[in-house]
Structure 1
């Protein structure tokens, strides 16, 4: 690679890094994800997204106008062949506080889920319970997960297509029992940017053998659909995400979030002008004298 190419690559990476940091910073501000004196438990799976999240959080921590701590936590689910030395070495190289938490969820999932069926649901629930309890144990006030914009949109369609629910992943979530708050700092970040970032930073990626070995997962089909849309209509995925930030309950059909039963007419006072001229009746067989002329009342 010649000097010109090297400069161009460096320039492109700097732009990418600024964009990702800006997106994370905006998400944190928009949803008040991190507050003064928070202890953020950054959950690191060994995948590109959680590595990027940790890297960006540590950089923002240095420049943020508020003080907060970051603790890296990896849940070792005892998957066969999992390289247990990689994450401790990486965390030590960063000189940051970390925990490796052992919980054999792998055996539970393999025992409970029939061969060929999707393991993600049960695996996620077991992992969530373990992380919630550990966050309390170490006094963490926020649990940071590495889900990005594409994950959120994929989840929206996954729930629509297979669960008949309009539901995604919120940027910030309080657990049902109110004892934990989950944040997703990568909410505004695109996966394609995170892939490039991880390649440049050379994170020690650890593949998930439990999920990655299953083919034709529903999520993978949706991911392929969104990638195709992104190629044919750039910006569509971002627009879908923006739509879940701009919800009009009265234009949907959920009776629990909008009262469709009690919608009384209210014609008191002057009417605002509609965006068209009054219609002119050219023919009718109705005796208009039967109607009340409201303009004279």
Structure 2
């Protein structure tokens, strides 16, 4: 903990820590399940951050959808260990960059915890990487104003990245590795089981197509993974949430957004090209991104080319064996179904 007014220096990091009374996060009561109560500023039982939620019907539906999707992702991927309860809770380090995604992540987790469906202790963490123009006062003030337990870490990774990476190259890869290493270290120091990131459905799809187009592999961001050392989890509870919903939620909550172009514009990034492609597909056929996201959870190794996942070598005709494969092979692909529907609609 801190002694006096001087923040401790740990392994070259300048860390300012604020621990807030847990009375701000009381145990939930049955009334908490009513969606309308969040916007009631006179309800002192509601965490300060949630009192700012708009009271419109449209926003309540949006908030409810984000809560449901986060609960489903947390449940589907077993993010909370079995046996966790209000008396035996794991601890999560919730990483905030100052963008719409991480603000929304924190608000959703705080509400799930307040409603009694997330038996986890939350510690918000911002890593100030000393990018030019970064406003260091915004997030500490946001945390203090909303009574959020938090850690502020300052580490000049920007100088390292700009020294190692030529100007015409993108900084993202090295910057990400340095950032992740620092967050792992802070999580260990704070006794956390996991670091929690704000990546959403669209981020996951973009990464999938980045790997497909440029990496030669079928892979994306998993909602849950374990680090190389095997001692920490990386969680993405917003894996089912659409970016457009997160943007609407952030706008409605009026979060103090920190611009994401602090490293320079670096136009022409491959990820931006993929993002524009996906957005164009969604405009042309609304709902397409949702279909593609569902596809990531319904793979058929026998219908791909990966010999490590499926034993093609020993696959031989045998009576009574392979019937499921035969049925799958007879099923039309999604493109065929869509084309057929379009042709009939045109007649």
Q: TM-score range by the shorter chain?
A: 0.7 to 0.9
User: Structure 2 length as normaliser, TM-score?
Assistant: 0.73
Superposed, 1:86-235 pairs within 5 Å as 86-211=138-263, 213-235=265-287
Deviation at 1:66, TM superposition (A): 5.0
CA distance in structure 2 between the aligned counterparts of 1:9 and 1:75, rounded to whole angstroms? 33
Residue equivalent to 2:73: 27
State whether structure 2 residue 65 is matched by structure 1 residue 13.
no
In structure 1, how many angstroms separate the alpha carbons of the residues matched to 2:205 and 2:219?
A: 10
Distance in 2 separating the partners of 1:211 and 1:255: 41
CA RMSD across the alignment = 1.9
- Name the counterpart of 2:43: none
- Describe the SS at the equivalent of 2:316: coil
**Unaligned runs of at least 5 residues, structure 2:** 1-53, 328-347
- 1:150-188 Cα distance to aligned partner (Å, 9 max, x none): 000000000111111111000101112211101101101
Q: Which residue of 2 aligns with 1:258?
A: 310
Q: What displacement does 1:264 show?
A: 2.6
More off after superposition, 254-263 vs 238-247: 254-263
TM-score of the two chains, using structure 1 as the length reference: 0.85
8 A Cα contact 1:79 1:209, kept in partner = no
| Aligned pairs, number | 266
Please state how far the C-alpha of 1:70 moved relative to its aligned partner: 0.5
In structure 2, what is the equivalent of residue 48 of structure 1?
A: 100
How big is the shift at 1:211?
Answer: 4.6
Moved over 6 A (4+): none
- Alpha-carbon distance between aligned partners in 2 of 1:151 and 1:65, rounded to the nearest angstrom: 26
Greater C-alpha Rg: 1
Q: Unmatched 5+ residue regions in structure 1?
A: 1-7, 276-297
Residues 218-250 of structure 1: CA distance to partner in whole angstroms, max 9, x if unpaired? Answer: 011111001110011111111111111011111
